[in-house]
Amino acid sequence: MKDKLIIVVDLGLVRAYRIELTPQRTPRLQQLQQVVLDEAHSRLKDRVTDLAGRQGTRTQKSSSAPKADDHNLKLESKRRLIRQIAGRITEIIQQNAKNGCWLAAPKEINLQILNELSPTARDRIQKTVPCDFTKLSPSEVLEHFLERTAL
């Protein structure tokens, strides 16, 4: 378990931790990297610069509806975010995962991230957990992984 890498991911955040042993031989997590993807936290209307798409047709006196659909812009931005996340994970694994890696990603994107990873990075991942651990403290993340290892 020494020098094991834990990567915790959601659509807007990638955190990498290394498991280290204290002098008393108890494990603790040290954060190696944190990557915040700004695109995930921005609004779609701020990214789309076409002012014509913001205009609406009159449906009633005081409100309006959009003239066109968003043409899967949300889906495409999600795909791009997943590719960026997979790229970051690949870099982190290549630089730091000598003794393997554990990955936690939300259930909705876990398989998509694994499919986007390079084969060498995918081979170094020993365990995946389909949960969102990004909002947990490092000690809680370690506790969840150790519980799942004991099972």
DSSP 140: H
Average pLDDT by consecutive 10-residue portion of the chain (151 residues)? 85 92 86 83 60 55 57 83 94 88 94 94 92 92 79 53
Beta-carbon contacts of residue 24 (< 8 Å; ≥ 6 apart): none
- List all residues 6 or more positions away from 55 whose beta carbon is below 8 Å from its beta carbon: 64, 67
End-to-end alpha carbon distance in the chain: 16
Q: pLDDT tens-digit profile of 22-35?
A: 888 888 889 999 98
pLDDT of 119 reads 93
- Structural domains present in the chain: 5-41+68-150 (3.30.420.60)
* Digit-coded pLDDT (tens) for 113-123: 999 999 999 99
Q: Three-state SS for 49?
A: coil
Per-residue pLDDT at 44 = 60
